[in-house]
Amino acid sequence: MAAERKPTFFQSLAAGGLAGTAVDLLFFPIDTIKTRLQSAQGFVKAGGFRGIYKGVGSVVVGSAPGAAAFFSTYEAMKHSIPLHDQLAPVNHMLSASVAEVAACLIRVPTEVIKTRTQTSMYGASASSFKATTLVLQHDGIRGFYRGFLTTIMREIPFTSLQFPLYEFLKHRLSIYLDRKSLYAHEAAVCGSIAGGTAAAVTTPLDVLKTRVMLDLRDPSKQQVPSLPMRLRQIYVQEGTKALFAGVVPRTMWISAGGAVFLGVYEWAVHGLMST
């Protein structure tokens, strides 16, 4: 079996940016429906099926830098952590977790704007730019990082499931095909299975993240429930069904998105490595 070439930092950066933009723009309507299903105000009041591209402006700004930060960090960590092959899943979990924290520093502010615009919190006609100015006016820079901890709480378990499973599936498929480097469509299938599995399992954390980002209460002026308390309140007051609100569109979106995200990444990075 031929040796695997490793992408450089800048190849990972460019390929990650392309992959992130492709998947976010392609699957944005599904994300809008999922977000509205999770909103405490209810699907219809949050906008229903109207204006499913509301908030796309913030995604255009943030998806490429966020994905680029993730993949460049992930690849750098994956090849620098001194763990043996038997501990490869631990390597992938640690690498993906660190990469998610780096990506969330960029992604969370755009996610706050996107979520509030998708659910018409500032009015049905408010644009991403208008939502940005209102967040800055009412909450300052701090407002853009509302839900940062819940996003990390969601993303680290998600990536700790997704990327070890993705790397495992790629490894098993490469052994079966007797070929170290997989084609983009083969990596896409592995990404789809890994993403869909992780998405379904971590849906309650995604619901929590959405509720926190949509909460307009000022934590410095009034008592706001802790994250575990919020999760418990959703369960007690609304039941298990609420914790898994949007699980079908989320799983479909991330399963299909995982195929595009990781497929485009593999295609782009291999293209860059061959030039």
CA 106 to chain CA mean position, Å: 12
Judge if pTM exceeds 0.85. no
CB 253 within 8 A of CB 27: yes
User: pLDDT for 33-52, tens place per residue?
Assistant: 988 998 888 899 888 999 88
Q: CB neighbours of 239 closer than 8 A, spacing ≥ 6? A: none
How large is the average pLDDT for residues 93-106? 92
How large is the average pLDDT for residues 51-68? 85
Per-residue model confidence (pLDDT) at position 162:
92
Q: CB neighbours of 226 closer than 8 A, spacing ≥ 6? A: none
Q: How confident is the model at residue 95 (pLDDT cuts 50, 70, 90)?
A: very high
**Which tokens go with 59?**
């995604």
Per-residue model confidence (pLDDT) at position 2:
45
User: pLDDT for 135-191, tens place per residue?
Assistant: 999 889 998 998 898 889 888 999 999 999 999 999 999 999 998 788 889 999 999
CB 111 within 8 A of CB 150: no
The residue with greater pLDDT, 251 or 225, is 251
Q: How confident is the model at residue 5 (pLDDT cuts 50, 70, 90)?
A: low
Average pLDDT, the chain: 87
